[in-house]
Structure 1
Amino acid sequence: MANPNILLTRIDNRLIHGQVGVTWVNHLGANLVVVANDKVAEDEVQQNLMDMVLPDVIQTRFFTLQKTIDIIHKASPKQKIFLVVRDVKDALSLKENGVPIEYLNIGNMHYEEGKKQISSTVSVDKEDIEAFKKLDELGVKLDLRGVPNEKGKNIMELLEK
């Protein structure tokens, strides 16, 4: 069975929103956006809001993490997939369960109490750091950037500061 054509996996706590969603889709040449998130998979209002942001030619799927794991390998090679998750723990869960994530773009992980800010858009706690380390050990390329034309940063170097 061929691997699904995942162009990029992105962590963004807002998932698809405004220019960012559109910018990445255009940059990648994606024709399918898969949002892997248990809450949004059951929230039609959220889904509609995200659909409205994207051009009509782009298809969207809103799957639970488990459904993503179960069916991603059935994707057609013609489906050029932009996979979006809310946080690093979800990305790790997908990777550990056979979703072929080779490259992970870290876009937005908002600041909360108890988190350490490591860039203008990314804050992490101990669990996040552990998850990034595991992904790194699994050979996933970790690239921190908000929009495609920014210079990417290696998150592992930022975590060590």
Structure 2
Amino acid sequence: MGTALGTRSASAVIGVEQSLPSDVVVDISGALTNLVADVFALYLKTKNFHWHMSGPHFRDYHLLLDEQADQVFAMVDAVAERCRKIGGQTIRSVGEVARRQRLKDSDVQELSPGAMLSELRADNVRLREFMLHAHALCERHEDVASASALENWIDEAEKRIWFLFECSRN
């Protein structure tokens, strides 16, 4: 089967947008599904800190974290749908999110605003690293659409990292 990206094997799984060999679909959809779990975890932690923010910069931080949570949550559906478009499977339950997530939850009762911002910055840095790894995998297997989507999500993560860094400076 010929494509603009070259010839794919007869064992290729045909997704909506492209044709990838079944082992590549498993690898890429596995990496993206892990991202879905991490994005859910980051979303919940961001909302947690949004809900529990306090202090003299409450309003600014509260609004910042709400904006960031909305941006992160918007990624969930897009990443999961990317898995399905290439012919893979993705998250099916909260339990699967818990098993797959690499970002740690925060159940700490009392965190300072600065600690919250620092923790979210570190999590966004880790998420960016996970996305860079997934991007390299997509590029290696000529999954241009997934790589392109990841580039946009990486850029969004870098903006969140920048804002969190600037807000947490003394």
Q: Which structure dedicates a bigger proportion of its chain to strand? A: 1
* Superposed pair shares fold, TM > 0.5: no
TM-score range with shorter-chain normalisation? under 0.3
TM-score (norm 1): 0.27
TM-score (norm 2): 0.26
Higher-Rg structure is 2
Q: Which structure dedicates a bigger proportion of its chain to helix? A: 2
